[in-house]
Every structure is written in C-alpha cells, then in structure tokens.
A and B are shown apart, each in its own frame.
Chain A
Amino acid sequence: MSMIISAVLAVIVFLIVPALIGMLANVFRKKKHFSMALFLVSGYGVLFAFFELLVLPFIYLKLPFTLMVWIYSVPVGLLSLFSLYLHRRVLLEKLRGLPAALKGLPWCAWLAAVLILFQAGTAAVRMHVDDDDAFYVATATTTVTTDTIFQYDAYTGLPYEELPSRYVLSPFPVWNAMMGTLTGLHPAIVAHTVMPAFYIPLSYAALWLLASWLFEKSKRNAWLLLFFAAVIQMFSFYSIYTGGTFLLVRIWQGKSFLANVLIPAILYFCIRAMNQRHPARTDWLLLFAMMAASCMVSSMGIMLAPVALGVMGIVMYLRHRKLQILGYGAACCAVNLVCAAVYILIR
C-alpha cells in the first residue's frame, strides 16, 4: 500500500507539479499554445532555479534540511494548486480530447513512444552500478539521515572540515533527498528507479521542443525526428562519454541531466528569445531560469551553459545585428557568473 502511495506521490512531484508550474510560467504569453513538453521543461527550469537560489543560503547558514523542504514545498504546492485552478478548463478539455489526439498520431510517434518507454523502463527496472553515486546518492542519503545539507562527508559520514567546493554550488543530490522525503522513498530508490522513469522521457520532451521548432509545419516530421533521436541515443554507446550513454545509464546524476535536458532546453529558449523581432519577456525569463537550473544540477553547468548561450548569442547577433541579444543574454548568465565567482573564492 505504501508503495502505491509513494508511486502516486512520485507522479505528482515529478510530473504534475513541474507541468503545472510550467503552465504558470507560460501564462503571460500573448500567443497561447498548449504544449505539455514546453510546460514540463520550463516547469523543471523554474523549479530548479528556485531550488538553487533557496538552497545555497541554507548550506552556508547550516540550516536544517527539513526546514528547507517546507520553505520550498509550501509555495511550490500553492502555486501548483493556483495553476490547476487557473487552467482547470483547458486541462479538462485536453483530457477529454486525449483519445482523439492519440488516434491522430502518426506511426512514427508510436514507434518513438515505444522506444522512449522501453529506454525509461529499462533504466528504471534494470540495475546499472556507477561509482560516482558514492557521492551523489550518498549525499542524498546523508542529507535525509542527518537533516543537514553538505555538513557531513558523503564518503565517510565524518563532518566536513570545509565545504566540498566542487559540488556545493550544485545541490542536485539535495533535490534527490527532497524528492525522497516528499515521496517517502529512499534516495537510492528515487535516484536509481524513479528518476530514470521520468527524466528519460523529459530529455525527449526537450528534444521535442527543438524538433517542433525545426518542423513547425509538420508534426509528423517532428515525431520522426524524435524517433530517430531515440534510435541514435540507443546506439550511442560507442564511447562512455556520449550524452546518449549518460542518458540511458545514469540520468539521475546532475551532469547527465545537464547534457540531456538542460543543454537542449537552453538552445531552444535561446532560439525562442533571440530569434524573434519582438521576443516575449517570458522567453528571456525562462532562459534565465534554465541558466540558473544548469548551476543547480552540475558544477559543469555553471561553465558550460554560458558557453552554449554565448555561442548561440553570437550566431543570433550576426543574424539580427541587435545588441539587445547580447545584453539580455549576458544578464541571463547572472547566476552562473555569481556561482563561478564564489567557486573561485572557495576552491
């Protein structure tokens, strides 16, 4: 029974809450467009950005983990309920239209869905042992057990003499700990079983955004792109360094989330924000959220995400010759710059 409750809670916190927050984040768009992939990806961006900004003071002030969970969860929960209330009609309408929408899907959509579900299911059911979890998962378990954040060495359990500079600015393991607390599951189960089930499809949601931009007028072609992408990821084990390998064997680690969800999402929101004559403010804000989220998931994200944004910014500047692109782009990197400065100070 408790496992069923945990499973329901996992669906709520991993799927429904991010989608509702994403809907809320896109509520000010003038051109309304219902895209669950957009809502999910932007929801995660906003949730991770908020988490980054909230947790860092908790770490430095050595405040309890459970207090952080409350302070984070209550406003997020209330905002989700508000979003549910705000979008109740459109959600009901979409739910009613779901069978018809599914019937209208092209063959390649079903093939893509089967492959993605197979990949998520395999990662969730089967076991892959990765030594990096000695830090990532053990940090989550230590956080829950000691009710502290980054005060005890995950490897040994002994108190830290100084904060682990490489990881402390990217508290993704604390997110894992919080998900464990909210679902009543052990952090090892959250990381190794629950996260792959949700995050592998999420990475395809991010790719779907790029696909639907590339094939704006043909959903069928966008689905075909997604199908080919799923095949490519599956056959990317020619080296252990590829994004596909990281996606399919260890998506619960922040660096893999960065490579497979946030980098494609950053490219997409760069294009949305920079490639329009009158870009929506929402797109710039979501790009800012994605950049902050990249700091939250991995110390690599602090550095790599601005590189991606910078290159895309230059490409777009050369196309549109608008200094605003570079200015706003730089502003979106604010959290990354602060984290980089702090990292240099504490390392």
Chain B
Amino acid sequence: MNSATVRNLLVRGMLAGLAAGVLALVVAYFLGEPNVDSAIGLEEAHTHTHTHGDAGADAGGGHDEEEVVSRSLQSTAGLATGILVYGVAFGGIAALAFCFALGRIGRFGPRATALLLSGCALLAVYVVPYLKYPVNPPAVGDPDTIGKRTTLYFLMMVLSVLLAIAATLLGKRLAPTLGTWYATVAAVAAFAVAVGLAYAFLPVINEVPDDFPATLLWRFRLSALAIQTVLWGGLGLFLGELAERLLNPKAVPSEPGGAVPAAR
C-alpha cells in the first residue's frame, strides 16, 4: 500500500517534471536562445583559440568547419531533449524527496510541501552553485579547463544539497527546544554560514574574455535563472496538485467551487 503510494508519487513527479520542462522550454527558446545566438556570433567573429567542438579530442577543429549537429537542430530539438530530460529527472528526484518530506517537515499539506520543497531545491540545486560558478554562454570558457570546471560545479551542487538536507535535519532537531520559528532561523543561518565558507575556500573561476560584452553576459545569466525558476516553480505546483489529488481525493474537487474543504 505504502510502496504503491511511493510508486504513484514517483510517476506523478516525473509527469510534473515533464510539464514543467515544457514551460521552461518556452522560456529557454524565447529568452535564452537569442543570447546563445549572439554569443555564437561573437565566437565566430574571432575563431582563433575557442574551439567549439568538444574538450580536447579534436582540438584543431572549430564547429563552423564540421557541424555535427546544425544550429537549427541544437536550438530546437536538441534544446527540447536536454530540458525535458532534465525536467523528468529532477521531477523523479523531487518526488522521492517529497515522499521523505511529506508529514515530516511540519503541518503542511501535499501542495504546500511540494512548493516548499521545490523552492528549496531551486536554491540548493541551482542558485547556490550558480552564485559561485555562474553559467556561461558559448565563447566564454577555456576548453582545456572543462574537467576542472565540471568537477567544481558538480561538487558545489552536491555540497549545497547535502548542506540543505543537514540544515533541515538540524532545524527539526532544534524545534522542540527553540520552537519552530527560531529553529528555522537558526537552521537557515547555519546553512548560510556553511555555504559562505564553501564560497570562500573553493577556487574562483573567471574565464570571461576581456572583450566579451557585459550586457550579453548579464542577459544570458538572467535568462538561465528564469528558466530554472519556471522549471522548479512549475514542478512544485504540478507535483503538489497531483499529490493532493492522489492523497486527499475528496477535498480537491469541492475547492474550486469555493465550498468548505472536507474534513482532514
């Protein structure tokens, strides 16, 4: 019975992730792609050191000589594949985290739990690593350091998620003595201090060329943040709605009519 509930929530989480991925794809196509195109235009304007193909294997060839995948495919089908798979994968992970969180993080129903969880996930999975290692458009970044940058980025992401989980457990432990409010404040403060220490001790990466336009970099990074905000916000709302309908089937249909919610 409980195992079936977990399975049902997992399936719903992946569907919610797919739906949120579609919303994020719209934002990515209309807000993000123009910036990618501008950056690639700049990259092609001076093709000297920046090889666009891959890291090292054919270090001689830029992507304009031999295109493996055309730009029009990259910006449509390729973009859709990446974002939808990302959405489904994080939808599944969020659903599993939701199964753990439900009924354990305070008196929240399924919808509030899902939105709270996805908001925290946006911060821990994306915003915290992003503030240390911000996203870069094409033409920014030295292909020779891709290994180091990938390692540091994933390290920051894993560290941030583990710290967020630790802060949640700390808050739960402090709640009986400090009360919910002060326990939450203390846990968030502990998280902020730990993240600050990680920021201070992890190496800085800045490979933005001197002549790269600051406004384009800003717009690119802002559009990347918009994509993630829409993705995680949508995921939280969709997962919460589907979970509420699964776990509390009597209450939901009566609510849109403005009727009093059914008992418990």
**Real binding pair:** no
Task: Enumerate chain B interface residues (CB-CB to A < 8 A).
Answer: none
